Amino acid sequence: MIDNYLTIISNNKLFIGCVVAFMNLGSKYLILDMPSNIDKIFANFFILRMIVLYAVFFMATRDIKISLLLLLLFIIIVKFILNEKSGFCCVNFDGVNSSELEYSNAKKIIQMYEENNKK
């Protein structure tokens, strides 16, 4: 009887979607339990990051071909269409330099920190 309920739940697309979303949102916190060199390995090896992304696509679709297609689309979009350094970039950031934006955001955070610590 319990096996029947578990089978129904495990085949429910809404349940699978929630699990995949939860996995994607929470997976960044799994690195907190890993040794520090694991972070460096993922940062240095593009292919390793793509294998992890493929695994996410495969878990969501459960189809090898569709997962490969989604991975290729992701790579094309991220490496070419959204990459400012690419000749195929289609996104204009209105001349705002990301380093200037990061600097102003960091400045605001420092000001907020100093205001909170004065109290």
Question: Domain residues of the chain, as ranges?
Answer: 34-91
Which of 50-54, 59-63, 68-72 shows the lowest per-residue confidence on average (mean pLDDT)? 59-63
CB 74 within 8 A of CB 53: yes
Q: In this predicted structure, which of 5-9, 10-14, 30-34, 89-93 has the lowest mean pLDDT?
A: 89-93
Mean pLDDT of all residues belonging to the chain: 82
- Give Cα 93 to chain centroid, integer Å: 21
What pLDDT does residue 95 have? 57
Q: Quick one: tokens of 77?
A: 């979009």
Residue 3 in tokens:
């096996």
Q: The pTM is what? A: 0.52
Overall size of the chain counted in residues: 119
Best-predicted range by mean pLDDT (4-8, 21-25, 27-31, 95-99): 4-8
Indicate the pLDDT class of residue 119, thresholds 50, 70 and 90: low
pLDDT of residue 96: 55
Cβ-proximal residues to 42 (8 Å cutoff; 6+ apart), any chain? 48, 49, 52
